[in-house]
Amino acid sequence: MSRPVPVPTELSRPFWDAALRGELVVPQCPTCGLRFFVPEPACPGCMSRDWRYAPSAGRGTVYSVTVVHRAPGPGFDTPFALAVIDLDDGGALLSHVDASGSDGVDGVTIGLRVRVDFRALTDEIALPYFVPENTH
């Protein structure tokens, strides 16, 4: 069985469109400057509804990580590393970290430098995930 595919909403459509192009974008509020994720109707910092998506270089540091051994549903391969990534250009994302080319899930540790990559789930949805920064 295949993995569940995200269903874009009005708020998240620009995020998924950018991911399909191989670009990472995050909500940013021009009023207070806060970069945040997940997209919300209003900025969680100042409640402004005037936020926009801003490009991210997609590089950061693992802030926190857990290894999931029990699949949350059909289509998930376990074990996998789920981490909070502090982005260098502001904000944080909860994402999978694929370290299969190195030490696998054991290689995903707090402080690990990572960069974004994208994995196509369908012709319309690409999932951003992170890999160790030194991975080509």
Burial class (CB in 10 A: 0-12, 13-18, 19+), 134: exposed
Q: pLDDT by residue (tens digit) across 75-118?
A: 888 899 999 999 999 999 999 999 776 677 888 999 999 999 99
Q: Where are the domains of the chain?
A: 13-132
Q: Which residues of 62-79 are buried (b: 16+ CB within 10 A; e: fewer)?
A: beebeeeeeeeeeeeeee
Q: What is the pTM of this model?
A: 0.90
